Amino acid sequence: MTVMPRPSILSVEPYVGGESKIPGVNRIVKLSSNEGAFGPPPGAIEAIRAMAPEAHRYPDGSATALREAIGARFGLDPARIVVGNGSDELLALLILAYGGEGTELVMSAHGFLMYDITGRWAGCRVIKVPERNLTADVDGLLAAVGPRTRLVFLANPNNPTGSILPQAEVERLRAGLREDILLVLDAAYAEYVTRPDYDAGAKLVDATGNTVMTRTFSKIFGMGGMRLGWAYAPAPVVDILGRVRGPFNVNAAAMAAGVAALAEPGWIEKSVAHNTAWRGKVSEALSAAGIRVWPSEGNFVLADFGTAEKARAADAALRARGLIVRAMGGYGLPQALRITIGTAEECTMVIEALSAFMHG
Ligand code: PMP
């Protein structure tokens, strides 16, 4: 007899890793994981190299240097920062600590997929709330909350829709939630936002005892392969995360790279300027070609082809030129493709391929 896991585990499909090869195609351009157009900052590459001879040493389990560097860069108290093996790990630890069997987790219908997957790992009932125009609906989220709800997740900006809630709406959400519900503001794409009425989450974390903000080095700092994320949380939540995380959950190379990335002069500014310009150009060009492009505040755009069949054909046309983007069937948007904003050359390739596809 096979040993059975908790039943909810079987409702999760095994993760199939980010595809990076197309048979028969030599030059691949990977625009499927929102990885940051410029790769890692040069100082981070140097820091990773410099760490190699020390690889026999366990890392600093309290991540002091990294937490201090994050705190200094973003004006936050290092004692309230927890680092993780990607922000995915921190999301999972929050669900492990505050969710579990018999609890409910509330999220937006097209919110980030890991909330659903991790919620199931933990045995939570996951409630997905319909959106308005692919944007989280605060009234809907509040109406979905029940006595067993312990966690509400909001990706702001959201992946894969690119949509955003202004600060006033996020505050309205928090104000409408019971105090025993943890609101997790996932701000993986915060740095890319250009709208002035936005706050990544720190204000609400400071103003309430039950809100957490998560951030990552995977996007703006181009360090997805290092697996480095962080959370800013009220002191009691920091205490709880300290109980559920592994003692050395972030490796030494990632920590050194993180410190160096934060010190790279002008990196965020340069990346944001590039992203804003090319997100605009890609959106305009695809719209002009007859594709519906949803407004995005992230480093990606959601291109809607109207039907699943047309999205599949567009995907095939992109792949024929070596361009890998993310099909959105798994997110319940089979008519759409999510395209990361890459370098100028990569964006130009996307524009040319999809313009030709639409006119062909
Ligand atoms: N949140 C959102 C909204 C994301 O899009 C991602 C990455 N796809 C993550 C969290 C996880 O990022 P990481 O684990 O690399 O920090």
What single-letter amino acid sits at 183?
L
Return the residue whose CA atom lies nearest to atom 1 of ligand 1.
Answer: 188
Q: Are residues 119 and 167 in the same domain?
A: yes
- State the distance from the centre of ligand 1 to the C-alpha of 216, rounded, in angstroms: 7
The answer as to whether 317 is a domain residue is yes
Whether 216 is in the pocket of ligand 1, judged by its Cβ within 6 Å, is yes
CATH code: domain of residue 111: 3.40.640.10
Residue 207: domain span: 42-263
- State the distance from the centre of ligand 1 to the C-alpha of 217, rounded, in angstroms: 9
| Rounded Cα gap, residues 196 and 59, in angstroms | 38
Q: Are residues 169 and 242 in the same domain?
A: yes
The answer as to whether 11 is a domain residue is no
340 forms beta bridges with 300
Q: Are residues 239 and 315 in the same domain?
A: no
Q: How many domains does the chain have?
A: 2
Q: Are residues 99 and 236 in the same domain?
A: yes
Q: Are residues 111 and 175 in the same domain?
A: yes
Whether 155 is in the pocket of ligand 1, judged by its Cβ within 6 Å, is yes
The answer as to whether 80 is a domain residue is yes
- State the distance from the centre of ligand 1 to the C-alpha of 33, rounded, in angstroms: 9
Whether 186 is in the pocket of ligand 1, judged by its Cβ within 6 Å, is yes
pLDDT for the residue 7: 87
Per-residue pLDDT in tens (0 to 9) along the chain, 360 residues: 889 998 889 999 888 766 778 887 888 999 999 999 999 999 999 999 999 999 999 999 999 999 999 999 999 999 999 999 999 999 999 999 999 999 999 999 999 999 999 999 999 999 999 999 999 999 999 999 999 999 999 999 999 999 999 999 999 999 999 999 999 999 999 999 999 999 999 999 999 999 999 999 999 999 999 999 999 999 999 999 999 999 999 999 999 999 999 999 999 999 999 999 999 999 999 999 999 999 999 999 999 999 999 999 999 999 999 999 999 999 999 999 999 999 999 999 999 999 999 997
| DSSP-assigned letters across all residues of 38-82 | T-S-HHHHHHHHHHGGGTTSPP-TT-HHHHHHHHHHHT--GGGEE
User: Which atom of ligand 1 is least distant from the CA of 33?
Assistant: 8
Q: Return the best residue to mutate from 94, 114, 219, 223 for the ligand 1 pocket (most ligand atoms within 8 A of CB).
A: 114
Q: Give the count of beta carbons closer than 10 Å to the beta carbon of residue 235.
A: 11
CATH code: domain of residue 331: 3.90.1150.10
Task: Name the residue among 155, 300, 161 with its Cα closest to residue 213.
Answer: 155
What is the dihedral sign for C-alpha 337, 340, 346, 347? positive
Q: Return the best residue to mutate from 30, 87, 115, 220 for the ligand 1 pocket (most ligand atoms within 8 A of CB).
A: 87
pLDDT for the residue 114: 96
The answer as to whether 4 is a domain residue is no
Q: Are residues 306 and 257 in the same domain?
A: no
pLDDT for the residue 20: 77
**Helix, strand or coil, per DSSP, at residue 29:** strand
Whether 192 is in the pocket of ligand 1, judged by its Cβ within 6 Å, is no
User: Which atom of ligand 1 is least distant from the CA of 224?
Assistant: 15
Task: Name the residue among 8, 20, 13, 11 with its Cα closest to residue 319.
Answer: 20
| Rounded Cα gap, residues 268 and 270, in angstroms | 6
pLDDT for the residue 17: 67
Whether 199 is in the pocket of ligand 1, judged by its Cβ within 6 Å, is no
Q: Are residues 280 and 333 in the same domain?
A: yes
Whether 224 is in the pocket of ligand 1, judged by its Cβ within 6 Å, is yes
Q: Are residues 159 and 29 in the same domain?
A: no
What is the dihedral sign for C-alpha 232, 71, 219, 289? positive
Q: Are residues 79 and 165 in the same domain?
A: yes
Q: Are residues 121 and 75 in the same domain?
A: yes
Q: Are residues 320 and 254 in the same domain?
A: no
Helix axes 64-74, 252-263, angle to 10 degrees: 30
pLDDT for the residue 21: 80
Parallel, antiparallel or unpaired: strands 229-232 and 81-84: antiparallel
pLDDT for the residue 268: 98
- Please state the pTM of the whole predicted model: 0.97
